[in-house]
Amino acid sequence: METFMTKCGIQVNEGLCLLEIIDPDTLERVEPGEEGEVVVSLLEREALPLLRYRTGDASILIEEECECGRTEARLLRIAGRIDMLTKVRGVFIHPKQVAEIISKYPELKFQIVVERPEIYDEMTVIVECSKNSKFKEMQKILEKELRETLRVKTRVKIVTPGEIPP
């Protein structure tokens, strides 16, 4: 599969392969711009054709023209492995995304809890903060950053050191 990596994503030579993004639960195609599992069909292989090969990678397919002028579809980024993702309110969440946000604050340790108390999934990030005076301030900052990055409302619960199991 011939691809070109740019700052705008991974551009794919659509003459050589067909890329799809599917919902890993239903196996149905998702709309462009939605996250799901990357599925590849190689169009020019004769000896060992790959048709609808599920890669296990999570990504977003963009079909609009790139800044560089190329018009081929491109993968925005590889978000992680599908088996590591959790769907919360229709959005795939990878623990690595939460870890990247929390890693900006070295005094924090976290745990992710996803529950379905009623109709919809709810995600809570439980955070241990070693500096007690920063509890409320950290909670607001993290809720904002998580909402902006994950595109889903996330509750942050700050706990005292030692409450999150090792």
Whether pTM exceeds 0.75: no
Which pLDDT belongs to residue 134? 66
Q: How far is CA 9 from CA 23, 43, 57, 74, 77, in A?
A: 20, 22, 15, 6, 6
All CATH 2.30.38.10 domain ranges of the chain, comma separated, are 3-82
Instruction: Please give the class, per CATH, of domain 87-159.
Output: alpha beta
- Per residue in 112-165, pLDDT (tens digit) is 998 888 888 899 999 987 766 667 778 888 999 999 988 888 999 988 888 887
- Per residue in 29-51, pLDDT (tens digit) is 999 888 889 999 888 877 887 88
All CATH 3.30.300.30 domain ranges of the chain, comma separated, are 87-159
Report how far residue 87's alpha carbon sits from residue 10's, in angstroms, rounded to the nearest whole number: 24
Superfamily (CATH H level) for 3-82: Luciferase; Domain 3 (2.30.38.10)
Which pLDDT belongs to residue 6? 54
